[in-house]
Structures are given as C-alpha cells and as structure tokens.
Amino acid sequence: MKKNLQASSGKTINRIAIKTMMITFIMAGVLASRQANAQVKVVPPDSIEYQGTLYQKAKAKSAYPKVVGYMSFILPLETLNLSTGKFAPNFSDHTTTIGFPVGVNVLYSEKFGFSYEFTPNIKVAGGTSKMNDILFDPGTMFRFEHGFTIISRLAFDTNGRYGFTPVFNQVYARTQAVNYFVALSLPTRFGASEAATLGLNVQFGFTFN
C-alpha cells in the first residue's frame, strides 16, 4: 500500500512539473507580446515622426539576413518500427516523453533560411522522470506565403540515434513581439543497434520578432 502511494505521488509530481514547464513557455510568449504592445507610441498619421516610423519598419522588414530565436515544446504521438510494422504510441505503458526545442533561425530572404535547433527531452516512466537525451537537428528552411514553411532537418541525438526530420510549420497568429506556430514532423531514426523508426510529432511554440 505504501509503495502504491509513493508511486502515485511520484506520478502526480511529474505531471505537475511538466505542466508547469509548458505553462512557463506559453506565458513567456504572452508576456513578451503584452510588453511590446505597451511600448507602442501613438502619433498622428500625418506627422513626420509617423511617416519616418513607417519608413523604418519597411526598411527593417526588407533587411536580410535576419536572425530570430524561438521556444517551443514537442510531443511525440506515434512511432512506427519499420522492421516489425508495429506502432508505439507515446503514452503507452504509463510512459511519456516531451521535448522543449529552442533554436535560432537565420533568414536569408523571404523564401529561404537556415535553422539551428536543440531539443532536451524529458522522459516520464514508472513514477519517475529524467532528462533522457539532447537532440541537435539543423536544417534548411523553405518559406512560402501565409506563414507556411517546410524545414528539412538532419538529426543527431546523444542517445546514439541519427537520421532526418521533415517538418511542416504553420504560423497561426501574429503579434508585434512574437509569432505563434504549430508544426508536424516525421522523425526518421537509425543507429544504436536498434531498428529504424518513423515517428509523428506535434510541436507548438513562438518566434521572437
């Protein structure tokens, strides 16, 4: 009975810790947006200052290369073992994995850029949690209209796995300070004496403007 209570308590603490980290990421984006809006200065549209501001904004938007940072969290949904053909959902056997990708995008034009991303992953299983691995996955960005981007990433994981990850990214909300995005990715992994796998992940985050 005591062991069951300890296990239950451990699972509850792990869930609270993960939810707290996710809420922290979301609140950071919201606070950044509010702070930027609070700093907006209202001037008459026909004033020289207003016209100068418009010119500076247009000039800044056309200036490349441009560097922007971003924060996010990612949830693996399914993983397909390419040898056996079996699917393994992320939340099976009371096991959960969540990653927190952070990175920098170097934008060379409205159509092309390069992304440098690091993802620390946390694994929760058996009432305990641990830092499981860190993934480095740089990639080229092909940018399209309406905030849609395709990113072709390479993947190098500290757990010994490697591979590539196609990412389909869509901006769904814009503010002066941050842009919010959602992405689906298909991580394909090899190595470490394990079978090749194909996964499906969903990612939520924001970029700093």
201 SS3 class: strand
**pLDDT tens digit sequence for 139-169:** 999 999 999 999 999 999 999 999 999 999 9
* pLDDT at residue 45, rounded to an integer: 58
pLDDT, one tens digit per residue, over 13-39 is 666 666 666 676 666 666 655 655 555
Domain of residue 173 covers 2-208
**Other CB atoms closer than 10 Å to residue 29's CB: what's the count?**
23
Domain total in the chain: 1
Residue 141 CB contacts under 8 Å (≥ 6 apart), including other chains? 105, 107, 112, 113, 114, 115, 149, 150, 151
Task: Give the whole-angstrom CA distance, residue 136 versus residue 102.
Answer: 10
All residues at 6 or more sequence positions from 131 whose CB lies less than 8 Å from its CB, including other chains: 120, 121, 122
Tell me what the mean pLDDT of segment 125-130 comes to. 88
Which of the four pLDDT bands, split at 50, 70 and 90, describes residue 126?
Answer: confident
For the cut 80, the answer to whether the pLDDT of residue 101 exceeds it is yes
Give the β-pairing of 102-107 and 66-81: antiparallel
Task: Give me the chain's average pLDDT, please.
Answer: 84
User: The domain spanning residue 35 has which CATH number?
Assistant: 2.40.160
The pLDDT tens digits for 37-96 are 555 455 555 555 556 666 566 555 568 999 999 999 999 999 999 999 999 888 877 788
Stretch (H or E) spanning 29: helix 2-38
Give the per-residue pLDDT at 47.
Answer: 59
